[in-house]
Structure formats: C-alpha cells, structure tokens
Amino acid sequence: MDLSSINPILLVASIMVSATPILLAAIGEMVVEKSGVLNLGVEGMMITGAVVGFAVAVNSTSPALGFVAAAAAAALLSLAFGLLTQFLLSNQVATGLGLTLVGLGLSSLIGKPYEGIKSPTLPKLDIPVLSDIPVLGRMLFSHDLMVYFSLALVVAVWAFLKHTRAGLILRAVGESHDSAHALGYKVVIIRLMAILFGGACAGLGGAYLSLVRVPQWTEGMTAGAGWIALAIVVFASWRPGRVAIGAYLFGGVTVLQLNLQAAGAAVPVALLSASPYLVTILVLVIISARGAHAAPASLGRPFHASS
Amino acid sequence: MHRRTLLSTAALALTLGFGSAAAAQDVTAGFIYVGPVGDGGWTYEHNKARLAVEEQFGDKVKTIYQESVPEGADAERAITQMALSGADIIFTTSFGYMDPTIAVAEKFPNVKFEHATGYKRAENVGTYSARFYEGRAIQGHIAGSMTKTNKIGYIASYPIPEVIRGINSAYIHAKKVNPDVEFSIIWAYTWFDPAKEADAARALIENGADVILQHTDSTAPHAAAAEAGDVITFGQASDMADYAPYPRVSSIIDNWAPYYIDRVQAVMDGTWTSDDTWDGIGPGMVGIGEITDAVPEEVKAEALDLKAAISSGDYHPFTGPLNKADGSVWLAEGEVADDGTLLGMDFYVEGIDAEIPQ
C-alpha cells in the first residue's frame, strides 16, 4: 500500500469536477421542492440536458452554447411536467417518474448519431494571480467556469430564499399553498417558475457530464445521478449550504474510494461506496429525532384554487 | 378496451423493443441486456448479433429485447415477462442473471434459455461464454511493452471469475515482456456507468498509470485517456474504433452472431439441447481489433504471433510455471490450466500486489 502516490492537489480538483453535476441538479430540485412540488424527473431532465448540450456543442463547436441549449431543453421538458401537475393536477410522483422514462428514451433517440463523437470541452480558466498560488491555485482556481457557476448558484439561491421578498413568497407557497393563495399570490405560476428553474439546473448538470466530466455522449450516461441529486435534497434538509456539502461529500467519497483503490489501499470498497447513503440515513434519523423535519409542509400536495 | 389494459399494453410496448413486426414467425428469440444497446461495448455487440439473427432468418424469426435490466431480483421479473410474451428461446446476457434465469427456467420448461458467462445449467438452460482471457493476453503483451511508467491501470467491474481471469492473463503477459510492470486495479462495481468509469480512469492516470485496461462496458475511459494524453487504452467487448488510432491501440471484440444463429437454428429444427459453449479466438468468438500504428512495429508483430499461436492452440495463455499470489504452486513447468480451475478462478497469480474484494 502506497498512499503517497495519491496527489492531494489532483484529488481535490477531481472531487470538485465530480461533484458539480449533482450539485447543479440538486440545487435546482431544492428550489422546486421549496415551492411545494416534488419532481422525480431529475434523471430524465439531466440526461436530456446531457444529449442536447452535447449535440449543440458538437454542431456549433461552442460548449457555452451547448450549456444554454441543455438548460433550455431540460426546462422545456420540465414545462411538460409543470403543465400536467399544476394545471391538470396529475399525480406528481407518477408524472415525475414518467418524465424520467421519457427523458431516457428521448435522449437515446436524439443521441444515436452522436455516439463516439468527441466534443469541444470547456477550457480551464486561468485566473490571474489566484491560479498562480502554489497548491491552492491548482486545487481550487484552475477549473472550468461551470464549477464556479454552480457554487455561485448555491449562494444566489441561498440569498434569494433567505433575503428577498420573492424568496419568501416561494417558501410560503411551499409551506401552505392555501394561505399563500388567500393572500393573493399566484400559486400555480410561482410553482411553474420554480419547476422551470429546476429543469434548467438539471439540464446544466447533465451537460456538465457529457461535455466536461466524461466527456462524450453514451446512452444512459447519467446512470442514476439524478436520483442521487434527489437524495441530496433530503439529506440537506432543504438548505442550500447543506446541498453543497452533500454534493461534495458524494463526489468526494466516489473519487476518494477510486483513488484509494488505484493506490492499492486495502479498504472495503463496498462499504465506502455505501457510505454517502449511510450518512443520509443517519442525517434523517437525527432530523426526525429532533422532531423538526424540515420538508416544506405542502410538498407533493396538489393545489387547485377551488379547494 | 379498458383503460387499464390499454395502459399496460402501452407500457409493454414501451419496455419491449419489438423487432420485425411481421406475423406468423416460427421462432421468437428474446434477449435480456444489462446495459443500453448504445453502450458501444458489451450490450452493443449482443444487439449486433441479434440483428444478425434477424438478417439470417428474415420473416421466420421474431426477436424481442429488453435493455438496461438490473442484475438481481428485477431480472427475474423481466425474464418471466419475456417468457410469457411467447419467446421460444431467451438469451440472458450477463453473469448476474444466472440465478434468475435458472428460477424462471423451472417455471417454463418449454422455453429454452441461454445464459452468458455463467456456470449453472438445467434441462432447458444452456450456457455460453467466450475465452476473453485469450484476448487479454495480447493486450497484456502490448501494455507491458508500451508502458513507460511501468504502471498499468485496470478498471474491473465485479470480482467474479471472468474478470479475475482477465486480470491474471493480462498481468502474466505484461510481466513476461516487462518484469518491472505493476498493476493498479480499481473495482468499479458496475458494468456501465460512464461518469464513474471516467473518474476511475482519471484516478489511475493521476496515480501514474499510462495504460488503461478496462472490463467495464462504456467508452468513457477512452475519453478520459484522450483528455489526459500519453495514455493508451484498449477497446472492451466492442472495437471502440472511434478512439483509434490513439488512445485506443487495439481491442477485444465479442462476436456472438454465429453462436446465436446456430442456437436459433437448433430451436427451429427441434435439435436444441442444453450444453456449455466456451470458444475463443480460434473459432472466432473472440476477435482482436486492429492494432494501430501507435504500437511499435515489432510489438505489433509479436502480438500477432501471439494471436496466431493462441488461435491454433499451440499456446495456452495459462501455461506453467505459474504460482498463486500466496506463493503456492499452481501450474508446474509446461502444465496448462484446466477449464474447471479457470471457470472458478478466485485468486491472483503471483506478482499482483492486491487483494480480491470479498
């Protein structure tokens, strides 16, 4: 066993890259759930974002355009979910699962011509001064733009929910849609906007997979990342900061266990792989024991103005 | 029509991809896949063979398949559903379908089952596999000759005999040409997860490996290697020629088509019996993809000689003297491994400094 072959600088850099897709998807889903809607279609929206982002980036040779298209495509898909659940009052769980199936099927259809093609990837930023700091520069300040964008988004979502009037209204809708409605807020429109935001974020996360982390298109390539994002929202008890911690924990453990194996450390692989899930259960137990489960009170409940 | 019936019919049509829609076929052949047909590797090749069956028999055969079926309990449901929908022969194409296949086969004595890479058989369950380790020997030879850091990374899937055989075969032949070679092995615990496979490849490269061998099904490790530069890879299960000539320098190609055609024909003729098939390079079940110009001329020539020797049966990749990792003698000078030991292989050969996860 020779742990010295693990380079901590490269390790942290890899963790940041591997955490970014689930962080993007999770922060979007958190906003959706804060508004009282449970969208289980994250996986489907992510993979749609992955394929559309890849296709557009290849055709336009611009990864930035790929990300924009990915966000738009996934938001469009989430709009279908929004219309079904908010206007036609369909069951959110079933519709969300349906969205995942549609996304997986649609993406493999769109993706057929793009198998095995190489894509333009995002350049790594070279931030003056910061990137030149020894150790830290390579570790934290030499990533592509999306890594920083995802972190900035977490801060922005936190500030929005905590410090703005609009954020307060969104939370009010999620806690009690009847009260919010009585106060004159447009519950359905607000939820629809949250759903669109969640879709766009999932799309960005998917595109990050196909354009930066892997980078290529393969059918079914999200392989469950959307479900992990959903788990992280619960793990984070609907708080933006904890979403970031959760995503980095997941990314960290994944990359760390691979690195430990590569270095020949005799660690029980299965246990390490399961550890993020064990931590999630532990956090849930602690939250329940304290009696304050943080889920928005109206989460998953359908709303109609007549009720 | 009741709404529920309509829905379930629609759901069935969604889950099962139907092949040719012509009526009155003689035989319906079903395929259960572990990954998506577009994985570019293992499942892609099985599906290619399915299409070859359709091509061969035309209207006389109907093929159905279901992709991305998880190994384990859910597989039993999927196989049962396929048997109920009228399949005459069902190919279950991953190791983890072994027990579910046997369980379903008991309930459908008139349906024939063919399970890939397993070892449990029954009256109506046959098994088949390819001697991938023959291809691994050639990969090991090229890898050992070409590595500059003397560190070879290996992305393994699950600790089952087939995967362990591949690691041993590659190691023995890399060691033969390069006594200083070391293997770093990562167990990914998945057959298909591009993001994880890419991460694994990156972890290996960051730990100094400049050759990546993989026993997982996607092309993601190639993409990661191409990005890192100065790292070579090998196609797994399929040619993965999109990444040739560099980083992908050669590949193992599974060719299931002749076997599938043969078995479907046997069902048509009523001559099908349960048996065990294990073919290698010689009969053509294992193919070696083009060795690209990135490989030095003499290494390429040696690799082709090795291929010819294995193909003709003159050379067996597991020929003594070989010791097990614990130092005990496995094969004496000139002794050749028997198939029983190979099929149940649960040990590394001497020199691999690692533990097989339990």
Structure confidence by residue, pLDDT tens digits, A150-202: 999 999 999 999 999 999 999 999 999 999 999 999 999 999 999 999 999 99
**Is A118 an interface residue toward B (CB < 8 Å)?**
yes
Q: Closest chain B residue to A218 measured between Cα atoms?
A: B39
Contact predicate A111/A55, CB 8 Å: yes
B13 shares contact with chain A (CB less than 8 Å): no
For residues B303 and A173, give the distance between their C-alpha atoms in angstroms, rounded to a whole number.
68
Q: Within its chain, how far is the Cα of A188 from the centroid? A: 23
B163 close to A (CB below 8 A): no
**pLDDT band, residue B14 (cuts 50/70/90):** very low
Ramachandran sector of residue A184 (left: φ over 0; alpha: ψ -120 to 50; beta: rest)? left
- pLDDT number for residue A106: 93
Chain B contact present for A290, CB below 8 A: no
Q: What residues in B contact A15, CB-CB < 8 Å?
A: none
pLDDT of residue B19: 41
pLDDT at B224 over 60: yes
pLDDT of residue B163: 94
Min Cα separation A148/chain B (Å): 20
**B312 to chain A nearest CA, in Å?**
34
Among B192, B226, B243, whose Cβ lies nearest the Cβ of A223?
Answer: B192
Chain B residues touching residue A273 (CB < 8 angstroms): 189
The CATH-assigned architecture of domain A3-289 is Orthogonal Bundle (1.10)
- Output the CA–CA distances (angstroms, integers) from residue B64 to B59, B127, B202, B237, in the order listed: 14, 20, 37, 22
Q: Please give the helix or strand (H or E) that residue A92 lies within, else none.
A: helix A92-111
Beta-carbon contacts of residue B307 (< 8 Å; ≥ 6 apart): B138, B281, B288
**Residue B12: pLDDT above 60?**
no
With CB atoms and an 8 Å threshold, state whether B189 touches A261: no
* Distance of residue B125 Cα from the nearest chain A Cα, in angstroms: 30
The pLDDT value recorded for residue A293 is 67
- Does the beta carbon of B187 lie under 8 angstroms from any beta carbon of chain A? yes
Q: By mean pLDDT, which of A14-28, B13-27, B52-66, B213-227 is the weakest?
A: B13-27
B202/A contact by beta carbon, under 8 A: yes
Please judge whether A219 and B202 are an interchain contact, meaning their C-beta atoms are less than 8 angstroms apart: no
Burial label for A278, CB within 10 Å (0-12, 13-18, 19+), is exposed
pLDDT at A220: 86
Q: Going by C-beta distance under 8 Å and a sequence separation of 6 or more, which residues neighbour residue B250?
A: B138, B139, B142, B234, B235, B288, B289, B290, B291, B292, B295, B303
Q: Is A225 part of the contact surface with chain B (CB cutoff 8 Å)? A: yes
Which region among A178-192, B1-15, B23-37, B337-351 has the lowest average model confidence (pLDDT)?
A: B1-15
Q: Which residues in chain A have Cβ-Cβ distances shorter than 8 Å to B66?
A: none
Give me the pLDDT at residue B11, please.
45
pLDDT at B7 over 50: no
What is the C-alpha to C-alpha distance for residues A105 and B68, in angstroms, rounded to an integer?
A: 12
Q: What is the pLDDT of residue B241?
A: 83
Residues of chain A with pLDDT under 70: 1-5, 266, 276, 291-293, 307
Of A5, A218, A262, the CB nearest to B220: A218
Per-residue tokens: B281: 């390079």
How far is residue B345's CA from residue B133's CA, in Å, rounded to a whole number? Answer: 12
Listed by start position, the domains of chain A span 3-289
Pairwise CB contact (< 8 Å): B190 & A270: no
Q: Which fold has domain B132-254+287-343?
A: Rossmann fold (3.40.50)
Arithmetic mean of pLDDT, B30-59? 91
Q: In what order do the strands lie in the sheet with B61-66?
A: B17-18, B61-66, B27-32, B89-92, B112-116, B125-130, B276-279
pTM of the predicted protein model? 0.82
Torsion of CA B143, B145, B149, B155, to 10 degrees: 10
Helix (H, G, I), strand (E, B) or coil at B182: strand
Q: What does the pLDDT read at residue A2?
A: 59
Nearest Cβ partner for B203 among A115, A219, A255? A255
| Sign, CA torsion B240/B246/B252/B255 | positive
**What pLDDT does residue A291 have?**
67
Q: Is A111 exposed, middle or buried (0-12, 13-18, 19+ CB in 10 A)?
A: buried
CB spacing of A116 vs B357 below 8 angstroms: no
> CA-nearest residue of chain B to A255?
B199
pLDDT of residue A136: 79
- Domain-by-domain residue ranges, chain B? 2-130, 132-254+287-343
Mean pLDDT of all residues in B325-340: 90
The share of chain B scoring above pLDDT 70, in percent, equals 93
Q: What is the pLDDT of residues B70-99, one digit of tens each?
A: 898 889 999 999 999 999 999 999 999 999
Mind telling me how many Å the CA of A118 is from chain B's nearest CA?
A: 8
Which residues of chain B neighbour A21 with C-beta distances below 8 Å?
Answer: 195
Does the pLDDT at position B211 exceed 50? yes
Cross-chain Cβ contact B186/A258 below 8 Å: yes
ipTM above 0.85 for this complex:
no
Binary contact (A11, B206; C-beta < 8 A): yes
Query: Which among B45, B185, B196, B352 is the top mutation candidate for probing chain A, defined by the most A β-carbons within 10 Å of its own β-carbon?
Result: B196
Assigned CATH for B2-130: 3.40.50.2300
Tell me the C-alpha distance between A299 and A35, whole Å.
8
| Residue B143 clears pLDDT 70, i.e. is over it | yes
Say yes or no: A224 contacts chain B, CB-CB below 8 A.
Answer: yes
Q: pLDDT digit string (tens) for B117-141? A: 888 899 999 999 999 999 999 999 9
A223/B193 touch (CB, cutoff 8 Å), yes or no: yes
pLDDT attached to residue B15:
46
Chain A residue with the nearest C-alpha to that of B217: A218
Q: What is the pLDDT of residue B61?
A: 94
First to last CA, chain B: 52
Does residue A238 contact residue A295 with C-beta atoms inside 8 Å?
Answer: yes
Instruction: Count Cβ neighbours within 10 Å for each residue of B126-139 and write b for 16 or more, e otherwise.
Output: bbbbbbbbbbbbbb
| 8 Å CB contact of B40 and A116 | yes
Compute the nearest-CA separation of B240 from chain A (Å).
Answer: 8
Alpha helices in B24-160 (DSSP H): 42-57, 73-84, 98-107, 132-146
Residue B186 in contact with partner chain A when CB distance is under 8 A: yes
